[in-house]
Structure 1
Amino acid sequence: MDASITADRSLADETYRALLEEILSAQLAGGAVVQERRLAARLGVSRSPMRDALGRLEGQGLLVRNAKGVLTVRVITLADYLNSVAMRMLVEPSAAAQACPSIATETIAQLSAMLNAIEADPDPDPNVVWTFDDALHQAIAEASGNPFMADTILQMRRYTTIFERQRKLAQRKPGLSDHQGIIQALIDRNADAARTAMALHLERVRQNILATY
């Protein structure tokens, strides 16, 4: 029985992660109707883990009910995006400062190598850019040592990611020089510089969206 429960939980987790990635990458676009049976068949799972995964996504606000009670993928509006960025601007610069003393040297080296590879590529794959972006911000959030701060960053970044990817803005994201500034501050273990670099990066992201909307 315990093994069966563990297997069911694992399958539900895998289903949740698969659906979350499809939402974040805009494969499941905002406003799309969620058809439980069709999704379950496509992912090769039973309806039980699918219901579990959908319930988690609805609880996180990524799936919503329309006026008819039909489950749909949440549409992230410009207002949602700007509010999410505003929350990140309140939290993430402090997270970057707090991460400076504790983030592992190996992690910084890996992030720096990823960014250097992107800079050296004249036409980097947007998915590679997103992978780096996720890795940098997640590493900083986790190294902040504050789980509430890390959770806020995670949730707000989901909204900003969905908005940017649905509008296909990944390749136009500001960031390479900004990210180098953040990484250099982490290398130097300079909390003030990390705070400033992160605040500047988020403000430039916000301004870029407003300029292209």
Structure 2
Amino acid sequence: MLNAPDKRLAMQAYEQILGLIQSGQAKPGELVNERRLAETLNMSRTPVRDALLMLEGEGLLLRQGGRGLQVRQMRIEDYMDALQIRMLLEPAVARMAAGRVAPEVTRRLHDQLHALLAQKDSGPADRAVVREIDEALHGTLSEAAGNPQLSQIIGMLRRQTQMFDLRSMPERLADTCREHLDIVTAIEAGDGAAAASAMAAHLGRVRDSIINRLARR
């Protein structure tokens, strides 16, 4: 078992490597080089190795025999399976979180979402900012639900769906912001039924958008 300092370093390495994967700097199908990663992150190889094992456990990295670990290439079937599970779990989480999020947190989410909507006609939004707000909203609800195991499962599923190539759909930005605002408003009002309904509608529209895009190919 890792002691506290080792665990902290491993988590730092995990977050940084996860960021490389989610941003596309570590590309799907690419082999991961532990030594090079350690040099890039300015860390020893031990926390990097521990972080890679965690990412492998979450299914974001796949072991390729003696070749080492490879960034997982998400297939549409993998994405839709993960999204289907999210559609089962996240409305329940939204219901549980209703009325349990601090007012300053919901206020900040409101402000961030309105700011994104206000600048949608000024050009493409910064994907890192969009992803950060999206993660803050879904992560906040998972934590507020008060079930750490459920939160961990949803976090893993979200990381898997974020790896899919179609995760960036600029035409969905305004709709996503409005759908998120509906969720936040219901959470703020303590209306569990409305929060669950808004979350289900949001994930359903994400699914439908992806299906429509694939149908146009």
Same fold (TM over 0.5): yes
TM-score w.r.t. the length of structure 1 is 0.90
Superposed CA RMSD in Å reads 1.7
Corresponding residue for residue 74 of structure 1: 72
Corresponding residue for residue 108 of structure 1: 106
Q: Measure the CA separation in 1 of the matches of 2:113 and 2:147.
A: 26
Aligned residues: 207
- Give structure 2 stretches of 5+ with no counterpart: none
- Give structure 1 stretches of 5+ with no counterpart: none
Corresponding residue for residue 209 of structure 1: 210
Partner secondary structure for residue 29 of structure 1: coil
Corresponding residue for residue 86 of structure 1: 84
Identity %: 38
* Range with greater deviation from structure 2 (136-145 or 39-48): 39-48
Corresponding residue for residue 153 of structure 1: 154
Please give the per-residue CA displacement for 1:92-139, whole angstroms capped at 9, x wherever unaligned: 001111111211111111110110110111233222111111100011
Please give the per-residue CA displacement for 1:126-165, whole angstroms capped at 9, x wherever unaligned: 22111111100011111111222212211111111111xx
Corresponding residue for residue 95 of structure 1: 93
Q: Measure the CA separation in 2 of the matches of 1:89 and 1:146.
A: 17
TM-score w.r.t. the length of structure 2 is 0.88
Aligned-pair distance for 1:25? Answer: 1.9
Partner secondary structure for residue 70 of structure 2: strand
Corresponding residue for residue 15 of structure 2: 17
Partner secondary structure for residue 57 of structure 1: helix
Residues 74 and 137 of structure 1: CA distance in aligned 2, closer, same or farther (over 3 Å): same
Runs of 4+ residues deviating >6 angstroms = none
* Contact 1:32-1:72 within 8 A present in 2 as well: yes
* Contact 1:126-1:171 within 8 A present in 2 as well: no
Residues 59 and 98 of structure 1: CA distance in aligned 2, closer, same or farther (over 3 Å): same
Corresponding residue for residue 192 of structure 2: 191
* Contact 1:100-1:191 within 8 A present in 2 as well: yes
Q: Which amino acid aligns with 2:151?
A: A
Corresponding residue for residue 169 of structure 1: 168
Q: Which amino acid aligns with 2:57?
A: G
* Contact 2:10-2:50 within 8 A present in 1 as well: yes
Corresponding residue for residue 55 of structure 1: 53
